[in-house]
Amino acid sequence: MTPTPTEKVEPTDAELLEAARGGDRRALEALIARHQPRIFRFGMRMCGDPEDAKDVLQDTLVAVTRTWNDFRGESSVSTWLYSIARSFCLKRRRKEKQAADRVETLEHQGGDSFVHAAAERQPDQLVRDGELRTALQDALLALDEKQREVFVLRDVEGLSARDVADSLGISVEAVKSRLHRARVAVRNRLAPIFFGDESQVPASRPGCPDVLTMYSQNEEQEISADLCAEMERHLEACESCRAACDSMKATLHLCRTSPVPEVPPEIQAQVRSALRALVPSPLGPSSTD
């Protein structure tokens, strides 16, 4: 019998960090390479400009090469990286506001929750990927900054509510409060695209509950089983609320499937150069030299 080849197991972030602390520069390079596409996407979603996103990425990763030995593991590596990237996003936005007023244009699925009463189909407009993703970026830039960073970290980057709270230095309750408002605002901006035009967006009837906020709360497991059952019954009987839940579901699906962009080669080269200047390896040159 032919033996099954041993599957190569990728080292964890913690293992790469530990190896880097032992003098293995290649481990630090691997850690940076693993996370840099998502940091670049975070910069794009927060800043809305590719050049700003490149600067945020480069500043973040150079900062990592300077401070990686200070990381104590009290949070995940990704949480630590996003907190650094966020600080550079905020600095960049403050500078822009000082220079000139810049006009900004613009899945946990509960197993037996009322979410499943919404139709499973995705709106036909999801095929229009480019238009939707442009509209999504505009919707994100229209958010209050505090709501935007919570939304991007939770629904685009996929951090847990606890990790988002750790990255931002706020409570989990504050994260969820901002998140619910942000989700509803983003869905409302995208609704005309999902439904064809503004006049087709379904309006809630008098006496209908706030199904969009409750949908978001259910995503965060804040809805009781009894309330879920009540909402399921309501959605079965109310076409407008069911359509609204469909559009919220489609909005979150769009965010959670947002592609991870390719980091521009020149930025990768600049980061590698900075790393090698700051962290000479006693173990010899990197494998990418």
Tell me the per-residue pLDDT of 13-56, one tens digit each, with 9 for 90 and over: 888 888 888 878 888 889 888 999 999 999 999 988 888 998 99
Q: How confident is the model at residue 192 (pLDDT cuts 50, 70, 90)?
A: confident
Check whether residue 127 and residue 251 sit in a common domain.
yes
Domain that holds residue 35: 13-104+261-278
Check whether residue 136 and residue 163 sit in a common domain.
yes
- pLDDT the model gives residue 126: 45
Residue 109 lies in a domain: no
Check whether residue 69 and residue 143 sit in a common domain.
no
Instruction: Supply the CATH number for residue 43's domain.
Output: 1.10.1740.10
pLDDT at 122 over 80: no
pLDDT at 120 over 70: no
Tell me the per-residue pLDDT of 217-259, one tens digit each, with 9 for 90 and over: 999 999 999 999 999 999 999 988 998 999 999 999 999 998 8
pLDDT at 9 over 70: yes
pLDDT at 213 over 80: yes
Among the residue ranges 27-41, 84-98, 198-212, the one predicted with the least confidence is: 198-212
Residue 3 lies in a domain: no
Is residue 106 exposed (0-12), middle (13-18) or buried (19+ Cβ within 10 Å)? Answer: middle
Tell me the per-residue pLDDT of 142-187, one tens digit each, with 9 for 90 and over: 999 999 999 999 999 999 999 999 999 999 999 999 999 999 999 9
Query: How many structural domains compose the chain?
Result: 2
Cα 261 from Cα 130, distance rounded (Å) = 14
Tell me the per-residue pLDDT of 59-74, one tens digit each, with 9 for 90 and over: 998 888 788 778 877 7
pTM: 0.79
Check whether residue 241 and residue 270 sit in a common domain.
no
